[in-house]
Structure 1
């Protein structure tokens, strides 16, 4: 719809139409038709409705014309049925009577709906330009935002990794200790616990704590803003390995100061790399001997892979290289009889014989 049509339409909306009281319908019709045509044309152009068929006189047909007794007022009433007319009873109390000979102003109610906006030429004229510029603008804004975020993140990482930013000021130690102290742990990790909150080397701190012989495992955690928290698990020794070392429940050998060795531990010996095998055999054989009230105090696996045991009563048991479990079971079967027959006690039993054993008694000194 052109702008001139819009101006004409607005002018028509507010222009009252006056008729002489004595005018006939056929005299009024041309005047009404002149008013009605731009109104309906404006409505159709506004709503995107095509023009109606010609009435044969070069003008669009008017709603209501063509019916017997129809007048041009019917067409206007069809366009604005809510307005009162002289010959019509008001349907609502709000409708007021109109003075004879005066037609009310024809008013078009314009609703700004999305459907009308889609069909409105005035509203759609600028859409192509917006459609072309909006994606470009969005891409530019998205690129700028991404660049700003990347720059901010880079600055933050570089700043926080600076050792001078948020330096570590405290090291807290947690755990149950018998052979190690929190002070010793703090001193051990002091050199590694330098730098900033994010730049500190956690692995270096863990290695420094594990350098203490009695430390089995260490967990290192940062606590905002300037603290390191160490969760320490101490070693649990189950036996001595040789004369200078200890072995834990996992078969790992560690070497603390001999003065810190727990008393009463059994002694295990064997070639390098056999720690786990010797510990497993010790546990199995010690459990088998428990019903006889015998406890292994020393177990040795020599270079020839021969087994030799020492009991808490001083008795030595030789099992040899092969069939160590079977020979141990034969010893268990004969031990009660040997104990009854040898009051002084047994010093050594050699079970390497296939059909017997060799027995050595204890020497009794006066």
Structure 2
């Protein structure tokens, strides 16, 4: 490039009034940028908070509007993923259950919640254990899973203390009077209580009889009367009417009468002990009541 000497440039120069120069052209884009920068510097905190609030509102609206399709899609995706895991050889294949006698295998299996394509990885051991523990006869339970596809369940059941017959059905009950299963005939050695409310108070009465074991010979049932008191029913048809209060004393008195007079072995239909100072009996062959 040819260099122009300053003398030649100055020779052709002329004085110009600055006010006569053309006005500079301002680009609107620069003007907008400058305004934005100024606003950001002066009000940046407010702008950021407003933008965050707007983003939250928009995001919440989108999630609310798409909640059902999104939930369906996630559920379907989970099923597909679990099916693929199961096809890869991690499906639950063998389930072993042990320790149960009052609880059916089907009830335990249903509580496990295992579906045809449930994978071992997705199987929730603790959730299954809690569901099984809620079954009426279960005292404790352990659930374990072993890869690739085994699940083992070991249960400990409650011990029944009596049989309770109500509405023609005989149930097994625990110490709290809760039904823990139906009597299939394997617990014929347990005391039989009958009548409404008998299950709730059975344990106290059974303990009272245990303390007077001689009274259990030939005893076939303990009947709850009006949910207030008990009758002892023997295989001879004899019915011993016990008082509402003072049962232990009445049983002890009956033991003494049996020892001295063999009262339970006599041809009686009723022995009435409901009055503390009186023992009334009714003969089988007559309706007269003798008192002793």
TM-score, normalised with respect to structure 1:
0.44
1:288 aligns with 2:211: yes
Q: Which of 175, 179, 182 pairs up with 1:253?
A: 179
Q: Give the Cα–Cα distance (whole angstroms) in 1 for the partners of residues 215 and 276 of structure 2.
A: 23
Report the secondary structure of 2:211's partner residue: helix
1:210-239 deviations in whole A, cap 9, x for unaligned? Answer: 687766543212223332111123454332
Q: Are residue 266 (structure 1) and residue 191 (structure 2) matched?
A: yes
How many pairs are equivalent?
Answer: 201
- Match for residue 353 of structure 1? 275
- Residue 230 (structure 1) aligned with residue 153 (structure 2): yes
The change in CA–CA distance for 1:216 and 1:229 in structure 2 (over 3 A counts) is same
Question: 2:122 & 2:199 partners in 1: Cα distance?
Answer: 39
2:241 maps to 1:318: yes
Structure with bigger strand share is 2
Q: Secondary structure at the match of 2:210?
A: helix
Determine the C-alpha separation between the residues in 1 that align with 2:92 and 2:284: 66
Would the alpha carbon gap of residues 290 and 234 (structure 1) be closer, same or farther in structure 2, given more than 3 Å must change?
same
Q: Give the Å deviation of 1:178.
A: 4.6
Question: Which structure: larger Rg?
Answer: 1
Q: In 1, are the aligned partners of 2:161 and 2:203 still within 8 Å (CA)?
A: no
Distance in 2 of aligned mates of 1:343 and 1:309: 14
- Map Cα deviations across residues 39-92 of structure 1 (whole Å, 9 max, x no partner): xxxxxxxxxxxxxxxxxxxxxxxxxxxxxxxxxxxxxxxxxxxxxxxxxxxxxx
- Choose which of 123, 131, 135 in structure 2 pairs with 1:200: 123
Distance 1:229 1:189, change over 3 A: same
Look up the match of 2:202.
278
1:40-189 mapped onto 2 (5 Å cutoff): 163-164=82-83, 165=85, 167-178=90-101, 184=106, 188=110
How far did 1:310 drift? 1.8
Determine the C-alpha separation between the residues in 2 that align with 1:292 and 1:262. Answer: 20
SS of corresponding position for 2:278? coil
Note closer, same or farther for the CA distance 1:235–1:312 as it changes in structure 2 (3 Å cut): farther
Matches within 5 A, 1:320-339: 320-339=243-262
Gaps of 5+ in 2: 1-77, 287-292
Which residue in 2 is equivalent to 1:94? none
Distance in 1 of aligned mates of 2:107 and 2:201: 32
SS of 2:249's partner is helix
TM-score by length of 2: 0.53
Q: CA deviation at 1:351?
A: 0.7
Instruction: Decide whether the 8 Å contact of 2:102 with 2:181 is kept in 1.
Output: no
Task: Give the Cα separation in 2 of the matches to 1:240 and 1:266.
Answer: 6
Cα distance change, pair 310–352 in 1 and its aligned pair in 2 (3 A)? same
Q: Equivalent residue for 2:226?
A: 303
Deviation at 1:349?
Answer: 0.8
| CA RMSD of superposed structures (Å) | 3.9
